Amino acid sequence: MSILVDKNTRLLVQGFTGSQATLHSEQSIEYGTNIVGGVTPGKGGQTHLSVPVFNSVHEAVEAVQPNASIIFVPAKFCKDSILEAADAGIKLIICITEGVPTLDMLIVKKRVDELGITLIGPNCPGIITPGEAKLGIMPGSIHLEGSVGIISRSGTLTYEAVKQTSDLGLGQSTCVGIGGDPIPGTSFIDVLKMMESDDQTKAIVMVGEIGGTAEEEAAEFIKNNISKPVISYIAGQTAPAGKRMGHAGAIIAGGKGTAADKIKKLEECGVHIAENLLQIGKKAKEVLD
Amino acid sequence: MNLHEYQGKELFSKFGLPVSKNTVIASADDAVNACRDIGGNKWVVKAQVHAGGRGKAGGVKLVSTPEEAVEFANHWLGKRLITYQTDSNGQLVNSILVEECTDIAKELYLSAVVDRGTQRIVFIGSSEGGVNIEEVAENTPEKIIYEPIDPLTGPMDFQSRKISKVLGLDGEQSKQFSKMLPQLTDLFVTHDLSLLEINPLVITQGGKLHCLDAKINIDSNAIYRQPEIQAMHDPSQEDPRESEAALNDLSYVSLDGNIGCMVNGAGLAMGTMDTIKYFDGSPANFLDVGGTATQDRVSKAFKLILADPEVRVVLVNIFGGIVRCDLIAEGILAAIKEVGVSIPVVVRLEGNNADIGSNILAKSSAEIVSLNNLEDAAKKAVELSK
C-alpha cells in the first residue's frame, strides 16, 4: 500500500507542452507513471509524448478520465489552472510552480477545501511512491521501495533524506513535498494522518524549516495522534532573523519561526530529532532497528 | 519588498485613510519650503529608511522652526541610520519626511498580516500602541485582538465593532473605524501586501483616529502585477549583493562568516549552512543557485560569492536531480575559469552521474577539492577556512 498515488493513478499534465513539463513528464513516464494526457490551451488535438493534448481540463476529463493533475504553468496562471482542475472534478492536484502570489493561494485554498480536494504545493517537488508512480520533478533513481514515509517543505533536502534512507536499505513508502510557501495546499498534519493509516509506512521523516508554526502544530498532532516513530530535521538553524531564505515561507518574523523553537517543541512531543541533515537516515535506521 | 513610510502614507491617502499633511524632501534646501507649505508652528521630521526603531536612534525629531528641520536634514541626509533592527552598518538616509505635528491623546496598535494558521488576512489590534507588540502579546494577551477576514465576505461591520471594543474606541471613533477597516483591506488586497502595520494608530486631541506611521511589506511573488509598487522600489535600502542576486534571479542572503556557499535548493542551502556551523565553521552567505545549476547561473553565483572579501573558501553543494552531474561539473569548471576563482573550491556532487562529475573535477588543474559526501566536504571547507 501507499498514500495518494500508485500504479493506477491516471495523471494529467497542465502546461504539458512547455519545456519543464515535457522534461519531467518524460522522466515520469520512464519511471512508470501513467500519464493519460495533457492540457495546453490552443494546442488541443495534438499528440505530445505519445498522449493527447487538450484545450481544457474538462475536455481531458471527458476523453481520458484522469484522477490526478500536475501543474507546470507559470505562477501568474496557477490560480486559474488549479481552480480549473478543481472545477473539472479532479481530486488530487499537484502544483510544482514556484512564485504563486500568496493572496491567490488564500482564495484557492478556501475553494479546494470546500470541494474536498487534495492540493499539494505550490512550490514543491511533488509526490512519489517508489516502484509505483512519480508525480513530480524528483530524480526517480535515488528512490527505493521501502518503509519510511517522507514529508518535506523543501525539494533538494527531501532528496538528501531519500538518498540516505535508500543507502541504508530502508527505502521509502511515499515521499510528499508539501512545498516552501506560506500557504501550502496540504500541511504536515494532513500527510501525517495519511501515513499513520498506511501499512507500508513504518516510520515517518518530517523535514521542516524556519518560518511559521507548521512544525509546532505538527508536533502537537504527533503527540496525540501518531503511533509511528517520527524523525525530524529542521533546516535554518543558522539563518538570520527577518530575511527570506529562498522559500517564500522561510523567514523568521517577529522572533517567531526559529529552528530552535521548532526543535524544542518537537522534542517535547516525542519526535526524534536529527540534529544535522547528515543524520536523517541514521536516525531513521536507529528508530526502526 | 518593503516600502518607506512616506510611500506607505501615499498609499494610505489614496485609499482614504487619515494621514498627516506631509512633504518628502531629498535635499536640506527644501526643508524650509516644506515646513511653510505644511503650515503651523511645529513639525515632525523623520529619516526614511527600511527599518523600525528610528525614534530611539535619533532618526525622528519634533522641530519648532524650519531652521531646525534644515539642521536635521543636513545631519541625516547621506548618512546611515543604525537602529536595533538594522545591521551594524545601518541604512542609508536618502530622504526625510516632514510632517504636520499631531497632538496625541492616545496611542493604539493596528496591523494586518497573511496568517498562515487561519489562512486568512488577519487584523491585529491593541489598545497598547507605540510599543513592541510582541511584548504586549507576551505579557497582556487580553489587550490584543486577532480578527480574520473571510475572503468571500470581506471585512464585516460586526468585526469592526469587535476590534473597536478592544481598541477602546468611543462611538464616533468606532464609526470612523468601520470606514477604515474596509479601506485597509482594500489596500491590502489591491496591492498584494504581506504586512501592513500602523504603530501607532492614534486618537488625536480632537478625538479622531489618525495613522501616525505606515509600515508596508509587499508579497515578492506578486510584484509582477504591481507596477505602481515596482516604481517605489529603493535598492539603496538593500544589501547591494542581495539586489544584484535578485536581478539575476538568484536567492542570496549575506552573512558574516568566511565560507561561501553555493547550493541548489533553498532547504538544502540552509541545511548546508547548518552543517558548516555544526563542524565549527561559519557560512558567509545563503545562496540558492536554482534547480538547473547551469554554467551561466554558476558563474553569476561565483561572482556574487567572491564579491565578499571575507570569503576564504567556497563550498559548492549540488544535489543533481534531473540534471546530470557530469554536465554540472563541466559548468562549474567553465564558470571557475570564466570568473577567475583564486581561492579553494570544495565541491560535493550527488545524484545522477555523480562519479563521472567528480572525476571531471578531480582531474582539472584548478584548485578544486571534489568529495562525494557532504560530511567530508563540509569538514574540508571548514579546515580550509581556518
What residue type is A92 in one-letter code?
L
Q: Please give the C-alpha separations between residue A21 and each of A57, A111, B78, in angstroms, as whole numbers.
A: 16, 25, 49
Residues A234, A236: Cα–Cα separation, whole Å: 7
Mean pLDDT over A126-148 rounds to 95
pLDDT computed for residue B322 by the predictor: 66
Longest dimension (CA), chain A: 57
| Residues, chain B | 386
Q: Which tops the pLDDT comparison, A75 or B322?
A: A75
Q: Does A183 touch chain B (CB under 8 A)?
A: yes
Kindly give the parts of chain B with pLDDT less than 70.
291-293, 322
Percent of chain A predicted with pLDDT > 90: 90
Q: Closest partner residue to A235 among B85, B253, B271, by Cβ?
A: B271
Looking at the DSSP assignment, which residues form a beta bridge with residue B99?
Answer: B22, B44
Report the sign of the C-alpha dihedral through residues B102, B103, B105, B107, in that order: positive
Per the CB < 8 Å rule, is A157 touching B265? yes
Selected for mutation to probe chain B from A103, A114, A233, A243 (highest B CB count within 10 Å) is A103
B84 is catalytic: no
How far does B79 lie from chain A, in Å, by closest CA?
23
Per-residue 3-state assignment (H helix, E strand, C coil) for A71-123 = ECCCHHHHHHHHHHHHHCCCCEEEECCCCCCHHHHHHHHHHHHHCCCEEECCC
Question: How big is chain B by its Cα radius of gyration, in Å?
Answer: 26
Residues B300, B252: Cα–Cα separation, whole Å: 11
Q: Tell me which chain A residues have a C-beta less than 8 angstroms from the C-beta of B268.
A: 154-157, 159-160, 235, 277
Selected for mutation to probe chain A from B132, B241, B297, B319 (highest A CB count within 10 Å) is B319
A272 is catalytic: no
> How many CB contacts within 8 angstroms connect chain A with chain B?
171
Instruction: Report yes or no on whether pTM surpasses 0.95.
Output: no
Residues B53, B232: Cα–Cα separation, whole Å: 22
pLDDT computed for residue B332 by the predictor: 86
pLDDT computed for residue A72 by the predictor: 96
Mean pLDDT over A13-24 rounds to 94
The helix (H) or strand (E) run that includes residue B362 is: helix B354-363
Query: Residue A77 phi/psi, 5° resolution?
Result: -105, 0
- Which of A 184-203 lie inside 8 A of B, CB atoms? none
Residues B49, B31: Cα–Cα separation, whole Å: 18
Q: Which tops the pLDDT comparison, B132 or A49?
A: A49
Looking at the DSSP assignment, which residues form a beta bridge with residue B25?
Answer: B96
How far is CA B56 from its chain centroid?
20
pLDDT tens digits, A201-214: 999 999 999 998 99
In the DSSP assignment, the letter for residue B150 is: P
Q: Does B53 touch chain A (CB under 8 A)?
A: no
pLDDT computed for residue B136 by the predictor: 83
Q: Does B85 touch chain A (CB under 8 A)?
A: yes
How far does A150 lie from chain B, in Å, by closest CA?
15
Per the CB < 8 Å rule, is B322 touching A139? yes
- Which of B 277-306 lie inside 8 A of A, CB atoms? 277-278, 283, 286, 288, 291
Q: Does A24 touch chain B (CB under 8 A)?
A: yes
DSSP secondary structure, chain A, as one string: --SS--TT-EEEEETTTSHHHHHHHHHHHHHT-EEEEEE-TT-TT-EETTEEEESSHHHHHHHH--SEEEE-S-HHHHHHHHHHHHHTT-SEEEE--S---HHHHHHHHHHHHHTT-EEE-SSS-EEEETTTEEEESS-GGG--EEEEEEEES-HHHHHHHHHHHHHTT--EEEEEE--SSSS-SS-HHHHHHHHHT-TT--EEEEEEESSSSHHHHHHHHHHHH--S-EEEEEE-TTPPTT---SSTT---BTTBS-HHHHHHHHHHTTPEE-SSGGGHHHHHHHHH-
pLDDT of A4 over the 90 cut: yes
| Residues, chain A | 289
> What is the three-class DSSP state of B198?
strand
Buried b / exposed e over B142-166, threshold 16 CB at 10 Å, is ebbbbbebebeeebeeebbeebbeb
Percent of chain A predicted with pLDDT > 70: 100
Rounded to the nearest 10 degrees, the angle between the axes of helix B325-339 and helix B354-363 is: 30
Q: Contact A206/A152 with Cβ under 8 angstroms?
A: yes
Q: Which of B5, B6, B99, B109 is catalytic?
A: B109
Residues B323, B218: Cα–Cα separation, whole Å: 34
How far does A245 lie from chain B, in Å, by closest CA?
7
pLDDT computed for residue B34 by the predictor: 95
pLDDT of A221 over the 70 cut: yes
pLDDT computed for residue A1 by the predictor: 65
pLDDT computed for residue B292 by the predictor: 67
Per the CB < 8 Å rule, is A244 touching B192? no
How far does A63 lie from chain B, in Å, by closest CA?
31
pLDDT of A10 over the 90 cut: yes
